[in-house]
Structure 1
Amino acid sequence: MNDLIRQAIAAEAEERVDSRTVLANLHKAKKRKPFGLIVGVATLTVAAAVAAVVIPTTLKKTDASPAAQTPAAQNVLLIGTDEYHRTDALVFARFEGDGSATVISLPRDIYVGSGPDRINSLYMEDPRKLTDAVEQMTGAKVDHYAAINMSAFGQIAAAVGGVEVCLSAPAKDPRSGTDLPAGRQLISGDQALAFLRQRFDLTGGDLDRAKRHQAFLAGLAAKITKDNALMIARQVSGTIQVDQGWDVAEFAARFQGPVKIRTTTLPVGEPVQRDGTFGFAVDPAQAKQFVETQFNGEGPVRDGCVY
């Protein structure tokens, strides 16, 4: 699979890629490896989101017919994992036919069912268990999923010359390594990772960290172009997993430039304790209504600096 990916990237760089041949080879490889690594899709994540949007453009030219330029909307679960494949971030995103996206952060400590199990444990057990839980909680179908190691985002940020974020106050946290001034600034490499990981010194903990993920993804989306997608693909090759059967070329056809995204977080209650574990309970009716409203484009657009 990795050899096929390298061949596809090399061919694209020389502008002689045959998308039908590449996709046929990838299809054969996926039969041998159920969760084959495909450089055609990465996230957001996570956060897992923007890489999942743009990198597929390296596999296919934008020479689609008029009918293919308005594909159907797709709901994609984007998963950010740590080095142990634990879920660090979850994002449920609806990608419209024009390439715009509505991104909903799902707090990783949401309880699943009435016991102490939390949603961040499900991906390690079985990706299908995670997608089933998200569908049950939100009432929306998960068409596909993409998972990316969070460590790749520092490389991606560096590859695009830094991602702009805005902090309402200086941030310094020795546990995550964050050391950033207030205001607008470009982050990349280790500071990008620290920015995405900080939670202990934030008032809202993981909920505030989700806002940082959203700010990073919005900044990254603004920097993505067809010209730098190939470079990003090289940076994250080998760190991405997607579900079997995803037509990444069809998905890629809708993205022609910087990605327009709207971001928000699924409402949760106050943190509660179950069997010594803290987490968030979700009101099923409220969650379903919230997701439906956001995916219909009716929710407010949130902007501004993050804490």
Structure 2
Amino acid sequence: MTDSKNIHPGEPRSTYVLEPPPPPPPPVLDKPWREINWGDKQSTLQYVNDYKPHIEGRYLRILLHGPVGAGKSSFINSVKSVLQGKMCGAALVANIGGDCFTKKFTTYKIEKGNPSTFYPFVFNDIMGLDPSKGVLVDDIKLALMGHVKDDYRFNPERTLSEGDPSYNTEVSPNNEVHVLVCVIPADTVNQISQEVIRKVGEIRKAASELGILQVAVLTKIDEACPEIEKDLKNVYKSVYLKEKMEQFSADVGIPMNCIFPMKNYFEEIDLNDDVDSLILSTLRKIIDFGDEFINHKMNQSEG
């Protein structure tokens, strides 16, 4: 293009070439930034089946928390479905938005092989976090220490206190939480209020003071990214999802290697190998974190 502005007679005319805008970054990377063995879910399943805590009679307690509607109950159902090889729905799930569906402190055991045998880990589901209502942070702190009895109905207006029938005064090692899992919906991670982020940070600090290891699980990844919806194996190639994980990591301080994207079973009626692989990969990491905490506590007591 020739620019005719401010050109005087006899002066050479300047020619400017407008550079085309750079192409947008690709929605998926050529290579995944984190590896997962999609074709060998059986080895991970065997790892989970073979796991036993080093202390006889002990089991891992995994506490889930996060915003209302994040998919905590669906996470429990998804893990149970994979381990039992069929669709399960032990943890009730709401199919509409709004207030938190889970109201009580509930422990979920997963049967292993027959009704009298269970996996050596349990999940605790709790009321969701909310800017103005929902579970109180102080109640989650009590749950971390093992002071909340099963079936306690959370009161958004009042913290559980000593002397209440649901307050567990005598805490055994099996009452204590070994892994804290923050469940976050990837499709609305940008919309989480600063107040909820603050509460997550406060809970994280309390867990850190107790030495409890923490991970985060990003659910609804297929709803957050069209490329993942097309092919779940794009989960660690998705530029968008990696950015969301990095943003959440910066917001709450959970390292990237402790954040795991996952798709829960929700609408499906049959199991899928790729979904199973991602669920089992996440579960294995949670078990490893919990086992590390139990071993650390055991070494401290022996010392």
Q: Is the TM value for this pair above 0.5?
A: no
> Which has the greater radius of gyration?
2
Per residue, is there more strand in 1 or in 2?
Answer: 1
Give me the TM-score of the superposition, normalised by structure 1.
0.28
